[in-house]
């Protein structure tokens, strides 16, 4: 019941339109160590994806609304970006001045043909690669959590904690996109 209410709230015509990812602004001024909570969010994404997919009819998984990514492509995109997050962690831990750049055109996702993959394969791939990220995060010291490097697009220092809050927000952004697709096409 709560899930249905959440879907109705997120997908209803009266809810606000989600801001585009590249238009988002981030504020990392907080000083408290919230890293354990961030790790919980990151660990929960594969579970949330699996639960979400269980409630989406198979015929909606490959629909590309307005030629934007399908649900499968959104999932594949999360997998495609995980090596960037892992590499950026390495950049911070190796005291690099800047975090490595991401492909802002998302060519990897556009060329990957995620719609041809089975949904269980996409979910498993994401779960496996996210586990590798989490394995790196759970062994960090508090000193590691507060180390920084400059984000190349945002031009702001990011601590390890900030980077993975950014990743958790990115996960949620794509989960919300999937819900938007589902609710839009369920009403037709």
pLDDT at 34: 87
Report all structural domains of the chain as residue ranges with CATH numbers, in order of start: 55-186 (1.20.120.450)
**Euclidean distance between the first and final Cα of the chain, in Å?**
21
Closest by alpha carbon to 45, among 182, 181, 172, 185?
A: 172
Of residues 1 and 102, more confidence is placed in: 102
125-180 per-position pLDDT tens digit: 999 999 999 999 999 999 999 999 999 988 889 999 999 999 999 999 999 999 99
3-state secondary structure of 14: coil
pLDDT at 13 over 80: no
Tell me what percent of the chain is helix, strand and coil, each rounded to the nearest 5.
Answer: 65, 5, 30
The proportion of the chain whose per-residue pLDDT surpasses 70, expressed as a percent, equals 82
- 66 pLDDT higher than 70: yes
User: pTM to 2 decimals?
Assistant: 0.84
pLDDT at res. 28: 55
Could you please report the per-residue DSSP string of 63-80?
--GGG---HHHHHHHHHH
Cβ count within 10 A of residue 72 = 26
Q: What pLDDT score was predicted for residue 16? A: 53
- Taking the mean position of all CA atoms in its chain, how far away is CA 41? 10
Q: Are 46 and 124 in contact (CB under 8 A)?
A: no
Q: How far apart are CA 78 and CA 58, in angstroms?
A: 19
Please state, in angstroms and rounded to a whole number, the distance separating the CA atoms of residues 10 and 55: 15
Helix or strand (DSSP H, E) at 168: helix 160-186
Q: How far is CA 98 from CA 72, 80, 164, in A?
A: 32, 21, 16
Output the pLDDT for position 172. Answer: 95
């Amino acid at each position: 019941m709560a899930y249905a209410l959440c879907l109705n709230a997120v997908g209803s015509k009266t809810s606000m339109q989600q801001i585009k990812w590249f238009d988002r602004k981030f504020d990392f001024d907080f000083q408290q160590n919230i890293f354990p909570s961030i790790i919980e969010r990151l660990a929960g994404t594969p579970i949330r994806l699996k639960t979400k997919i269980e409630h989406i009819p198979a015929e909606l998984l490959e629909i590309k609304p307005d030629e934007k990514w399908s649900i499968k492509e959104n999932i594949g995109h999360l997998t495609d970006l995980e090596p960037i997050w892992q590499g950026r962690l390495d950049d911070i831990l190796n005291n690099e001045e800047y975090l490595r750049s991401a492909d802002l055109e998302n060519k990897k996702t556009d060329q990957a043909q995620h719609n041809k993959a089975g949904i269980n394969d996409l979910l498993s791939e994401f779960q496996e690669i996210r586990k590798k990220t989490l394995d790196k995060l759970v062994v960090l010291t508090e000193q590691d959590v507060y180390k920084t490097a400059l984000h190349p697009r945002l031009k702001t220092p990011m601590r390890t904690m900030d980077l993975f809050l950014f990743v958790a927000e990115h996960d949620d952004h794509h989960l919300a996109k999937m819900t938007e697709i589902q609710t839009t096409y369920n009403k037709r």
